[in-house]
Amino acid sequence: MTSLLEQAEQVLEKAQSGINPRWYPRYHLAPRAGWMNDPNGLVWFDGWYHAFYQHHPYSPKWGPMHWGHARSKDLVHWEHLPVALAPEGPADKDGCFSGSAVVDGDTLALIYTGHKFHGPSDTDDNLYQVQCLATSRDGIHFERHGKVIDTPPGLHHFRDPKVWREGEFWYMVVGSRVENTGQVRLYRSTDLREWHDEGIFAEADEGKGFMWECPDFFPLGEKRVLMFSPQGMAAEGYHYRNLFQSGYLLGDWQPGQPFTHSGQFTELDHGHDFYAPQSFLTPDGRRIVIGWLDMWESSMPEQQDGWAGMLSLPRELSLVDGRVRMKPAAEVTALRGSYYPTPVRCLNNQNVLVAANADAVEVQLAWDLSASTAEQFGIALGDGLRIYVDDQAGRLVVERRYPEYSLEGTRSIPLPADSVLSLRIFIDRSSVEVFVNDGDACLSSRIYPQPGERDISLFANLGKASLYDAGYWSLDK
């Protein structure tokens, strides 16, 4: 009898040759074929970075979750490995949902949510989510150990465990939902198998989320960060514009003590598409985050091409003046090929071509805001994407216009107080990631240019715009 893992591999091997590459990323991690969502189990083990992810190998639509798997020596060049987990047991018969990975001596341990229905799947009353364990010595083939934490009484949504070691104990945070209130629960263990319930770690105020997904908890600087993805936050002006958000609470914690925090939820990324980020430590101690570069219930045109979903670039976190900053990991510069400086330094009511037919580039711009008077000025990719300063609103705007796919609209952030606006803009075949002023803000969105719509240009409307510096690198995988 062929196992579900073997079946998944056979399907993927056949399907990947039929992928239409027009929007398939050149330098981001995406599935060989089929569906991808949340990153899972990000970890350094036995000389490799490992990235697992939520995966449906049988179609480019969400389905019974497997764990896809890839590894890298440098965080930017990824090698696909066999599917690591399939819904094969009684504890996860309807899906291997999100989770994390830790190194326990010479063993790589995956801790994930087993998703199952006891009866028809059309009601949450029959839904049960439990936390499961699988281990590996080689980092590729996993032995399943089944359920290690059962569903707490009265709960149904109870998922996405993140595990870390502190002192003599392992700790785990798990997202949960009690009626219409999102929570994070805490557990403690000595062996990853027997867990003690430490109670509610944090929970939402009214209107701040009916479910807190994908929690992560880690030290950063002198503080502790609780990072999570709340579902059910209403938009407030320019904030919380996406269906679901990703962000953090900043506070203090010691084992055995409550988590005390400011209560101020801060978004991590201000673009259209960023969800379920997970963090891990590099061997040299940097805190790196990777997220899902998509958004639930948003159009995903690549589904017609046999695949769906991709992960963000790796991003290094730091704590500066009480705020989490996020910038591309240093390893990303290894992608750089040739550099092409842009000769123009001042635009006056004009549009200047910078690069023709660009599908994998890093653009670097430094605008002189004090010397710029145009109502709008910035950079465009064809007719579908503009990243520009709106001088009247005092905001940096990412605007995408792909009406044929029902993907239109803007996301924006306030302009910095100083006179220099420095941008690192990473454009791939179907994504853009904009990093502002060395990590002060980030905006990430999916894009879907048609053939002939990949020319990059700079523009200034109704006035002039001045640049200190401008150019781009071709990015080679």
Q: How confident is the model at residue 191 (pLDDT cuts 50, 70, 90)?
A: very high
Catalytic residue selected from 38, 92, 294, 428: 38
Q: Are strands 260-261 and 266-267 parallel, antiparallel or unpaired?
A: unpaired
Q: Among 40, 28, 35, which residue's Cα sits nearest to residue 12?
A: 35
pLDDT at 358: 94
Spatial separation of the C-alpha atoms in residues 69 and 140, rounded to whole Å: 8
What residue spans define the domains of the chain? Answer: 1-327, 335-473
pLDDT in tens, 151-184: 999 999 999 999 999 999 999 999 999 999 999 9
Q: How confident is the model at residue 477 (pLDDT cuts 50, 70, 90)?
A: low
Range 229-236 contact pairs with CB under 8 angstroms and sequence separation of 24 or more: 229/275, 229/276, 229/277, 230/182, 230/204, 230/265, 231/182, 232/180, 232/182, 232/207, 233/207, 233/208, 233/209, 233/265, 234/207
Helix (H) or strand (E) holding 4: helix 4-15
pLDDT in tens, 101-114: 999 999 999 999 99
**β partners of residue 388:** 378, 397
Domain 1-327, CATH class in plain words: mainly beta
Is 3.90.1150.10 the CATH classification of the domain at 335-473?
A: no
**β partners of residue 423:** 365, 436
pTM of the predicted structure, to 2 decimals: 0.97
pLDDT in tens, 21-68: 999 999 999 999 999 999 999 999 999 999 999 999 999 999 999 999
Over residues 138-151, mean pLDDT: 97
Residue with tokens 């196992």: 3
Lowest mean pLDDT among 63-72, 117-126, 307-316, 360-369: 117-126
Over residues 302-315, mean pLDDT: 98
Is residue 417 over pLDDT 60? yes
Mean pLDDT of the chain: 97
Over residues 230-235, mean pLDDT: 96
pLDDT at 343: 86
pLDDT in tens, 13-23: 999 999 999 99
Is residue 476 over pLDDT 90? no
Residue with tokens 């003599």: 168
Spatial separation of the C-alpha atoms in residues 279 and 289, rounded to whole Å: 4
pLDDT at 329: 98
Percent of the chain with pLDDT over 70: 100
Spatial separation of the C-alpha atoms in residues 136 and 144, rounded to whole Å: 9
Is residue 1 over pLDDT 60? no
pLDDT at 354: 95
Rg of the chain (C-alpha set): 22
pLDDT at 150: 98
User: What sign has the CA pseudo-torsion 351, 352, 356, 361?
Assistant: negative
Instruction: Extract the tokens encoding 141.
Output: 């083939």
Burial (CB < 10 A; 0-12, 13-18, 19+), residue 14, is exposed
pLDDT in tens, 69-89: 999 999 999 999 999 999 999
DSSP 8-class letter at 418: S
252 in active site: no
